[in-house]
Amino acid sequence: MLQAIGLTSTRHRGLPPAVDDLTFEAGSGSVTALLGPPGSGKTSTLRLMLELEPGRGVTYFRGRPLHRVAHPAREVGVLLGDVPGHPARTVRGQLRMLCAAAGVPASRADEVLDAVGLVGLGDQRIGTLSLGMDRRLALASALLADPHTLILDEPAEGLVAREADWLHGMLRSHADRGGTVLYTTRDPKEAARSAGHVVTIDSGRLLADQKAADFSRTRLRPRVAVRSPHAARLAAIVSREARAARRSVEVVTEASSSRLSVYGSSCAEIGDTAFRHGLPVHQLADEVGDTGPASRPRDSGVLGDGLRDNGLLRGGVSDCDPLSEGEGGDGAAAAARPATGIGAVAAASRRAAGGPAPAVESAGAQLPPRIRRRPARGPLRPVRYELRRLFGVRSTTLIVAVTLVASAAVSVVLARNGRAPLPNVLVAWPSLLPLPPAALGAGLLGALSFGDEFRYPALAAGRGTVPRRLGLLLAKLAVSAGVALSLGLLVVLVSAESLRLVYGGDLVQVPSNVMPLAASWSGLTVGCAWAGLLAAGIFRVTAAGVAAVLAVPVLMVPLIEAVPKAPTARSMSGLPGRLRELTWLQWPQEADRWVLALVRIVAHPVGTALTLSLSVLVCAYLFTSLRGRVRW
């Protein structure tokens, strides 16, 4: 069961809250429709329930608020808008990536594809899907972790009748298995046809809370639609004959002067009347007309924190009483459930939590709990998620291929004049370029690691912003480092093979200091990848990551080289021994050479610039994460 109690959104610039003291329930084994016109607060209600917007109130999912659920994806499946997936990713790849985020086996992707009828489209790109297929994929994403509750925001909007019927059939099937389904809609006919319970709101307040049968009887009225060139004369004749026969018939002239809506009659009676009087009829059809909700005006009294002053605090009844007979436009009752006051909300919250309900005081009643916007949780299997995210799109393969081809071409050109050092030839780094192609490619892949998260926020679908969790960050750092090292090794191998093919095998010789060169080359590629990743995570755009990579040789290195050097340099000889004494560690003498090599790499202008850049970016990432109150 889903229980929403006292939901109230935060005021903005003195405007009334989009949701005002809204309380309702959606039972298990039932489909509940949240009905309201555009701007009535339906989407804001869902976002308050999912703790995506600040406000007041509490929502219990089978007795627990969402932030108390260990695995939210296994409790609540969310569909808010279209699928936020990369257009070049396949349908199956998108679901398998989300399986890693939800902590379920990858085989679950094929199961939900079969359930939503997308088995034949598993290898199709997301960007090529139609609206109906995209909505099926969104429903499959919500069903991945087999949640008990489904929350959907206008899921049938824009769908053709066949696709809408299929979607509502899936929702009823989920409810028949004991699940809870809550979806929003603006169409009362859709709500009456597909839901078992209808909650009607307007201006963020509860108007009616009814079973679907009561809703259809009180809100939707059968009518006869008539179109005739003599509509006014036909209306007068029908009304006169109804008065003569003492029948309750209502004739309404529509906006078009040639169209009538007749309530309380039938097509046969209207057709016979028109035939007897020789009036032509161009349309005669049975329809169901929406009489519209009977909304009440808001009162002007407000509490200091922006909550509406209600009847319980004044010692009376709430101003959102059940609609009485005759208020619905057709004289039917709307059977609305009265909205609870603030004190009653607090009591209901305690009852739902299993605690005692205190008596409501006439003054100083307890406010409902505050809703805080909470960041999205990181993926449960972050490394697997990052691998599927990285290699699930063609851009990764394209960047690697372009990097290898460019590196081979630059190596061949550099080796032609014979003046460039062999290490520069192998890594394709001429003095004219600020960075070699491999470092630029690694930096671009690192920037896309976070840039694509913000551009296509698969992790944030219906659950807030992209998470800044330590597990996700470490997974991205590890995967980007592995890709950078692999790319650097491939560049050296491809360049060496290109040189052997063009100039023969005598040109490529293994240098004596191959290990220090390999360490410095690995540090450059990994450092560029991490710089791009962290900068894109801080500024939430891929271009910022690429700019951070280019800023290392273009800005940082000239600044470091511009620092005046001392006339006499001091030697760092004996540093490994002093480190050994400081840390009380006993490592082999061979390790001293590696320590000195690492120090020389960092002391190089490019190494110093890259180290400083990474230090600044790490501090900035931690600062922005802590500022957002992320719980690591």
What is the mean pLDDT of each successive set of 10 residues along the chain, which is 632 residues long? 93 86 94 94 93 92 92 91 87 94 93 94 93 93 94 93 95 96 94 94 92 86 88 92 88 80 89 92 86 53 34 32 35 37 43 40 61 82 95 94 95 86 89 90 95 87 71 94 96 92 78 81 93 94 94 83 59 57 57 55 73 90 70 38
Q: pLDDT at position 574, please?
A: 57
Q: How many helices (H) and strands (E) does the chain have?
A: 22, 14
Going by C-alpha positions, the residue among 122, 117, 184 that lies closest to residue 156 is 184
Q: How far apart are CA 439 and CA 521, in angstroms?
A: 9
Report phi then psi at 348, rounded to 5. -65, -35
AA identity, residue 382: P
- Using DSSP's 3-state secondary structure scheme, residue 243 falls into helix
Name the strand (E) or helix (H) holding 352.
helix 342-353
Q: How far apart are CA 538 and CA 552, in angstroms?
A: 17
| Whether 407 contacts 495, CB under 8 Å | yes
Q: Is the dihedral of CA 213, 214, 220, 222 positive or negative?
A: positive
Tokens of 608: 């110093």
Going by C-alpha positions, the residue among 372, 377, 464, 463 that lies closest to residue 58 is 372
| Whether 72 contacts 66, CB under 8 Å | yes
Tokens of 284: 């005669």
Name the strand (E) or helix (H) holding 244.
helix 231-244
Q: pLDDT at position 603, please?
A: 60
Going by C-alpha positions, the residue among 438, 527, 423, 514 that lies closest to residue 477 is 527
- Using DSSP's 3-state secondary structure scheme, residue 56 falls into strand
Q: pLDDT at position 602, please?
A: 60
Angle at 188 between CA 186 and CA 191, to 5 degrees: 95
| Whether 459 contacts 450, CB under 8 Å | no
Burial class (CB in 10 A: 0-12, 13-18, 19+), 169: exposed
Residues 6+ apart with CB under 8 A from 554: 434
Q: Which long-range contacts link 262-265 to residues 24+ away (Cβ below 8 Å)?
A: 262/223, 262/224, 262/226, 262/238, 263/221, 263/222, 263/223, 263/289, 263/330, 265/224, 265/238
Residues 6+ apart with CB under 8 A from 564: none
Going by C-alpha positions, the residue among 433, 352, 310, 372 that lies closest to residue 2 is 352
Q: pLDDT at position 421, please?
A: 87
Q: pLDDT at position 284, please?
A: 92
Q: Encode pLDDT of 195-228 as tens digits.
A: 999 999 999 999 999 999 888 877 888 888 899 9
Name the strand (E) or helix (H) holding 276.
helix 267-276
Q: pLDDT at position 391, please?
A: 94
| Whether 32 contacts 182, CB under 8 Å | yes
Q: How far apart are CA 436 and CA 407, in angstroms?
A: 8
| Whether 196 contacts 25, CB under 8 Å | no
Q: How far apart are CA 616 and CA 608, in angstroms?
A: 12
- Using DSSP's 3-state secondary structure scheme, residue 59 falls into strand
Q: pLDDT at position 378, please?
A: 84
Q: How far apart are CA 205 and CA 19, in angstroms?
A: 6
Q: Are strands 76-80 and 149-153 parallel, antiparallel or unpaired?
A: parallel
Q: Strands, E, within 291-361: which ranges?
A: none
Q: How far apart are CA 386 and CA 384, in angstroms?
A: 5
Going by C-alpha positions, the residue among 188, 198, 153 that lies closest to residue 46 is 153
Going by C-alpha positions, the residue among 287, 335, 625, 576 that lies closest to residue 470 is 625
Tokens of 607: 């190494």
Q: pLDDT at position 384, please?
A: 96
Q: Is the dihedral of CA 104, 110, 111, 112 positive or negative?
A: positive
Q: Encode pLDDT of 35-68 as tens digits.
A: 999 999 999 999 999 998 899 999 999 999 998 9
DSSP state of 311: G
Can you tell me which residue has the tokens 């009489």? 291
Q: pLDDT at position 627, please?
A: 63
| Whether 100 contacts 458, CB under 8 Å | no
Going by C-alpha positions, the residue among 172, 116, 184, 104 that lies closest to residue 144 is 104
Going by C-alpha positions, the residue among 220, 226, 301 that lies closest to residue 256 is 226
Count of beta carbons in the 10 Å neighbourhood of residue 562: 7
HSE (side-chain half, CA atoms, 13 Å) at 543: 0
Please, what is the end-to-end C-alpha distance for the chain in angstroms?
Answer: 30
Can you tell me which residue has the tokens 């050109």? 413
Q: Which residues pair with 181 in a beta bridge?
A: 31, 150
- Using DSSP's 3-state secondary structure scheme, residue 251 falls into strand
